Structure 1
């Protein structure tokens, strides 16, 4: 565990937590703005294009250097209620540079105005378009809530008979909106970013008419057999640690391939802090997976 990781984690106590209570979440939603603009770091390594699909933006990042041929659909985190932030662009710039792949960034509708069902239908269109354009080299990835979306998509595409994603990459994924795993309560004192009450509220908003335990909202409750290879980057000072570990166990028991990479002392989505050597190592591992095709 590096000194930079330890120092950064300790400084997180100075940041306000939007998920401390249901009320803090609702106030933060009322104040939220739009997604962060594409960063200079992204523009240095990628040509940026946008298109509108069924009324919503999809940002495409195409490497300025010759692409290797793979394609990634990346869904961002934010409790399903907050937009993409600058740290997400940092992750994506690194993946473009190190993996040499084209990336689609779908800016899906956020709760409470939008729901998991709407997102699933819309993302299915994005995926079908990508498979039609790139063939069987499309991977899915996401962090936090976006990781939950990535896994839920993989399950949905398996069940609908669509071509499977090449890889599914999960960064500190939120896999169960109910957070009933006792391990979450055990880790809660170590996590200075997330809190259960606000997250459970966000999960209910995202579920809409569904039960929050529905596999579309909480993909950990899915049948996990027959999925493509899963790569998980997870820290043990993260409220979602126990569920990520449980996902790895269940996929393995179901006969699937799961590569679970645990970073000791890692906080929620530590991968988005590029000054930390552990973050750079995790991004290098992810890029290596994506370079496989």
Structure 2
């Protein structure tokens, strides 16, 4: 059973308005337009005491680099791709979680505030992330990099690894996928059974966001739905999913395919947990963060 604090958070989730955002796709474009008027968030002042945090906009979108002030030369490096249905900007909880993970592992991190849909489509965004990753691989060494993300960022992380594999590029040492969204078709009937328990996401909204991100690509194209792409030869993967999240179905299907190919992976399914719970300071979130830190520190691929 989830902890008391996790149950209280789950009860309060509708107050955040995220479920309404995803449950009313006919109002999605209007709400996205409102989001674009908001001031972009960056790491809180307290983190600057222990980290050097630098923002660069030379690539045409902001890229934030986080480096511990006591960083070791051999420390891992994280490329973190935030969630938000490909249409929402990075949130405060993303920054806090990435910085907590850096503090736990001694890692430095690169966090791109990547271009969003519907203004920008999958081909463009993934191309930009591939170019950024290749820069980081040259600087840090590919084996030392963990590419990770939550929700849509988890799907983008897997799609990026598939692109690198297909083109013979240097693969990252590891992948971490939190509540990953890897099938934008939302066509698995098992999701309908989970949907009544999900207090954040709705199938109709996922479809609407996926369509805005896909552009001219079909929704089952691996760039949009990497569940349907090749999984052989990818880096070791840690997948985290909760059973009160529609996307647990994606996590289970991905883990099942990885087992069938013999690909190295861990699948952590948390009973009763909601979407991206690892971003919140509940006991289960702290445990998932600790498991993630252990996975990152466990050695090179």
TM bucket normalised to smaller: over 0.9
Which residue is equivalent to 1:133? 139
Which residue is equivalent to 1:187? 194
In the superposition, the TM-score normalised over structure 1's length comes to 0.96
Which residue is equivalent to 1:91? 97
CA distance in 2, matches of 1:200, 1:194: 11
CA distance in 2, matches of 1:192, 1:15: 10
Shift of 1:45: 3.2
TM-superposition CA deviations, 1:257-291 (whole Å, max 9, x none): 110011111100001111x1000010011111122
Q: Is the 8 A contact 2:67 2:109 kept in 1?
A: yes
Which residue is equivalent to 2:65? 60
- From 40, 43, 48, the equivalent of 2:48 is 43
Q: Is the 8 A contact 1:100 1:291 kept in 2?
A: no
TM-superposition CA deviations, 1:206-252 (whole Å, max 9, x none): 00111111000000111111111010111111010011111001011
Which residue is equivalent to 1:144? 151
Q: CA RMSD in A?
A: 1.2
CA distance in 2, matches of 1:261, 1:41: 31
TM-superposition CA deviations, 1:49-107 (whole Å, max 9, x none): 12234311110000122335211100000000010000101111111100111100011
- From 174, 181, 189, the equivalent of 2:181 is 174
Q: Is the 8 A contact 1:41 1:90 kept in 2?
A: no
3-state DSSP class of the match of 1:194? coil
Distance change >3 Å, CA 15–CA 57, structure 1 → 2: closer
CA distance in 2, matches of 1:54, 1:66: 25
3-state DSSP class of the match of 1:97? helix
Distance change >3 Å, CA 34–CA 181, structure 1 → 2: farther
TM-superposition CA deviations, 1:10-43 (whole Å, max 9, x none): 1113332211121232222010024312223432
- From 278, 281, 285, the equivalent of 1:279 is 285
Give 1:1-293 correspondences, 5 Å limit: 1-16=2-17, 17-32=20-35, 33-67=38-72, 68-135=74-141, 136-274=143-281, 276-293=282-299
Q: How many residues align?
A: 292
3-state DSSP class of the match of 2:235? coil
In the superposition, the TM-score normalised over structure 2's length comes to 0.94
3-state DSSP class of the match of 1:18? helix
Which consecutive residues of structure 2, in runs of 5 or more, have no partner in the other structure?
A: none
Which consecutive residues of structure 1, in runs of 5 or more, have no partner in the other structure?
A: none
Q: Is the 8 A contact 1:46 1:96 kept in 2?
A: no
TM-superposition CA deviations, 1:187-214 (whole Å, max 9, x none): 1000110111111011001001111110
Q: Is the 8 A contact 1:45 1:93 kept in 2?
A: no
CA distance in 1, matches of 2:225, 2:184: 5
Q: Which runs of 4+ in 1 moved over 3 A?
A: none
